[in-house]
Structure 1
């Protein structure tokens, strides 16, 4: 679906206004010295040392986020399917996922560090962030099925597993990609937060260390990089979701 020129124009104008506003706030120190001009951040990233440092840590964060995304999706889909095939497990899985999601990351991180290790903690936290969103998405998709189609499978004597593979999973594909649009940014955010707790590398580590050493250009460069990656992931999966929705509509 093509966007109208007016919509594109508004988007460009809004982005330009945001960039100009950020530059003016930093240049005139309207938010203090902790908000540097955008040109200073760009100049830092343009240096060989600054750009190389940011790129190396960005790759580490992307790797942790990608692993967490795959693991979280796999566990969530399997859990949702298990709850459908074995209905007696549904209440327990719902409560377990809700309780696990409600535990603050700062309380969970020390346990993960001592069990999974510092390097794996960002991946685990990303997987937990993704898993809850996808589990809720898939259980809702399975619950909103057509009663008439379900009755046909029942009359034909289909097993729960046959209904899952031939009816529920194909019908839930659009919802699955809807969940992906939310899970991708959550994976990046989860990996970045997980790196705050002592990971050897990553954007989260850069944010914490630069904040402690008052390296504002590096702090903002890392924060902006994480934001742009999350936005890019969201836009990519949104386009994929629109294609899938049109294909299965």
Structure 2
């Protein structure tokens, strides 16, 4: 076996180390094995966390129904909802009645998520490039975050129109924007000053440093913003349906409550909550996969 001597006085540069890795099949195989193990651990941990979260939600739900003293006519537990959606003779009809509402809420949630995340990313980049833009726009963002959405919803609906996609997009964007913007800004600000100095030394400007250093390094924060935005987008969709469109789960909740259809009410809330938890954990799993492949996953014991 050929021994490889390492010059301790002149250690290999990252580029040289990468070339050595490419030329060494054993090292490549070990790297692939390590990545697969790390990926398996992160996915397993994410699935375990999802199962724990689901179990905690069910236990809290049952505890509230059992010990809050609410009438069983009004409060429905997990078993009641399961029977309504799965085991009752008319369960198929019940699911057929609720699924269009759920799909409409998911569509509205997707609209708010996309517009909110895009707006947050654009604003974060502009804020990083110009402090004047940040000083001018950030107070407006904070104002939208501070004022209760219910109080400004009539103005939004007056401008965008009642029941329009624009009203759904604006309300969803307001709910999603601030948490996502704060997370992305935090990620962009954590770039290594030494790496930025290297870009400037080679003639790159602020935009080049942002593209080469800040944005790639903000990957974990971008995924964190997406995770936080998933439940926020669902909340925004429910508010938009309640205040503007009257469709989806948000609009149906009012009808179910007014008509004393409490089983339908709890079933619809349970479905949208379950789907929100699933979407949140899907984003987390994708985050773990991407960060492990990029070598940016946090060390976990």
TM-score (norm 1): 0.87
Q: How much does 1:65 deviate?
A: 0.6
Equivalents in 1 of 2:279, 2:252: separation in Å? 21
Q: Is it true that 1:192 corresponds to 2:238 in the alignment? A: yes
Secondary structure (helix, strand or coil) at the match of 2:203 reads coil
Residues matched between the structures, number: 244
Equivalents in 1 of 2:172, 2:150: separation in Å? 14
Range 91-100 or range 13-22, more displaced: 13-22
Equivalents in 2 of 1:181, 1:190: separation in Å? 15
Q: Is it true that 1:36 corresponds to 2:81 in the alignment? A: no
* Corresponding residue for residue 101 of structure 2: 57
- Residues 71-102 of structure 1, C-alpha deviations (whole Å, 9 max, x = no match): 11111101110111122212223222111111
Q: Which runs of 5+ in 1 are unaligned?
A: none
Equivalents in 2 of 1:57, 1:179: separation in Å? 27
Q: Is it true that 1:138 corresponds to 2:178 in the alignment? A: no
TM-score (norm 2): 0.73
Equivalents in 2 of 1:23, 1:179: separation in Å? 31
Label 1:51 to 1:235 Cα distance change in 2 as closer, same or farther (>3 A): same
Q: Is it true that 1:21 corresponds to 2:62 in the alignment? A: yes
Structure 1 residue corresponding to 2:170, chosen from 119, 124, 130: 124
Q: Of the two, which has the highest radius of gyration?
A: 2
Secondary structure (helix, strand or coil) at the match of 2:245 reads coil
Label 1:136 to 1:11 Cα distance change in 2 as closer, same or farther (>3 A): closer
Structure 1 residue corresponding to 2:214, chosen from 150, 157, 168: 168
* Corresponding residue for residue 226 of structure 1: 272
Contact 1:23 1:39 in 2 (8 A): no
Range 120-129 or range 186-195, more displaced: 120-129
Structure 2 residue corresponding to 1:178, chosen from 210, 215, 224: 224
* Corresponding residue for residue 206 of structure 1: 252
* Corresponding residue for residue 45 of structure 1: 85
Contact 2:85 2:94 in 1 (8 A): yes
- Residues 105-133 of structure 1, C-alpha deviations (whole Å, 9 max, x = no match): 11121112222222323332222222212
Secondary structure (helix, strand or coil) at the match of 2:191 reads coil
Structure 2 residue corresponding to 1:115, chosen from 159, 163, 169: 159
Q: How much does 1:149 deviate?
A: 1.1
Contact 1:122 1:192 in 2 (8 A): no
Contact 1:69 1:184 in 2 (8 A): yes
